[in-house]
Structure 1
C-alpha cells in the first residue's frame, strides 16, 4: 500500500524519502525500520545533527520517558500515520467488527498510544468520518494472541 501524506510535514518527509526510495509504502514508515527512518528524516528536516543512530526501541523509550523531543515527535507522528493507514484499511474493507492493532511496537506504548492522534487520524476521512467513528479499534496486549485464537476453536 502506497503511503499518502495528509499535511505539509508529512509531504516534506515523503519528498525527502523519495530521494532514496521511489515508492514509499505504508510499511516502510509504519514499522520498526520506519520509526528509525522517520527519526532520521525529521532530524534532517529540523537541522538536528544526530550523534549516533538509535534503534526503534530506543526511540520509543526516549519518547515514553520524555528524554528526547525528537523521539517524542517521531513516535507521535508514527501513531498518527498508523491511524491514517488503519482508517484507510477499515474503510476499504468495511471493517465494521473493528481493527485490531498488535505487533512489537504499539502494545508497548501504552498510554502514549492511547493519547496519540491515532484515533483522530483513523476517523479523519471527510464525508466518511461518521462511518469510521463507528468502527472500534482494539489494542492486542496478549503475549501470545494466536494461542487464544487456537484455544477458541
Structure 2
C-alpha cells in the first residue's frame, strides 16, 4: 500500500532578539517534519531596521528567497506595531508582505516558538534532568520554562498522535516564594528595590547579580561590582581570574530557585512533563544535573510523589527559535503544504 506523497515547501524562518537576528531557510514537509539550513546571524545594532537586515540576508542568499515567512520576536505580538525592549527596530505587521515581497507571514512570540520547538523536537534533542528517564508523555500538558533575559513560560497540550496546541503565558511574573533563610535574604534585598518581587527577578540571567550580592551580605563579604555576564562566567567556568566560590554558590542557588519555580509552574498548569529551555539553561546543564534542582522541583509537600512521576527535560536543539517559528507556520498552514 502506497502512503501519501511527501511534499516540501521552503520558507524563511526568522528569530529576532534584542542583540541578534537569526535567519534560515526552513524546509517543511507535509508529514510535519521541519529542517533548517545553516543559520545566518546578524547583530541588530548593525542595522537601522529589520527591513535592512532582511536585505542583507537576502543578498547573502543570492537575492532570491522563498515567498513565505515565519518570525519569532522577543516582544508582545501586536497586530499593528511590534516594538522590542532591547533594540530600536519597529515591525508593522500589516506592511510585512509589501515590504518583504512575501505571500504569507506568521509572527509568534519568541517563547511561543520555543514551545513549538519543544513539542516537535526528537527525543535525542533533550537532556534528562530528573523524574522518570523516559520520553515526554504523548498526551497531556507539558510545561515549558526558559530562564534568559527574563523568565519565559508557556505550555503545549498534546492529543493522541502529533496534534498539539501551544499557549504562551506570563507565568514568569508570578510571585517569588522563598523556601529557606537564604532565599528570605535574597527576597529582602530585592524588596528594597521593588514593590513586588516576581519569579523572574530571581530566576533569570540578570538576577544572578542580586543573588551574588545577597550571599556576600550574609557572609559579611565586600565584593566587586560585577555584571551578570561576569558572575555567570566566574560561577560556571572560572572566568578570567579562576573560579569564584561565591559566584559558584550563586549559580547553585539559582538552580535551586529554578527547580522550585519549575515545579510550581508544573502544578499550576496541570502538567505531566516539563521542558527547561533557553541558552542559559543549556549553558548550565552540568550544574543543573549536580545541583539541588531535582530535589527542589519535587519538594511540594503532599504533592511530592506526583512531582516524582514527571519527566523533566532540557531541550538541546541549537536553534529553537528558528525551528519553532517554522513549526508554528507548519501547524497553521498544514493544509496548504
TM-score for both structures, normalised by structure 1: 0.90
CA contact (8 A) 2:185 2:214 kept: no
1:10 CA drift (Å): 0.8
RMSD: 1.7
Which runs of no fewer than 5 residues in structure 2 stay unpaired? 1-173, 331-337
Aligned partner of 1:63 among 235, 250, 261: 235
Q: Does 1:126 align with 2:301?
A: yes
Matched, 1:79 2:252: no
Q: Give the aligned partner of residue 10 of structure 1.
A: 183
CA distance in 2, matches of 1:143, 1:110: 14
Q: Is the 8 A contact 2:182 2:215 kept in 1?
A: no
Greater helix fraction, Structure 1 or Structure 2: 1
Who is 1:30 aligned against?
Answer: 203
Q: TM-score, normalised by structure 2?
A: 0.43
Call closer, same or farther: CA 1:55–1:105 in 2, change over 3 Å. farther
Tell me, yes or no, if the aligned pair for 1:60 and 1:109 is still in contact at 8 Å: no
Larger radius of gyration between Structure 1 and Structure 2:
2
CA contact (8 A) 1:17 1:24 kept: yes
For 2:276, the equivalent position in structure 1 comes to 101
- Report which structure shows greater RCO (CA 8 Å, sep ≥6): 2
Structure 1 residue 133: deviation in Å? 0.7
Distance in 2 between residues matched to 1:110 and 1:95, nearest whole Å: 22
How far is the alpha carbon of 1:151 from its aligned partner? 4.7
Aligned residues: 151
Any idea what SS the aligned residue of 2:221 has?
A: coil
- Judge conservation of contact 2:261–2:297 (CA < 8 Å) in 1: yes
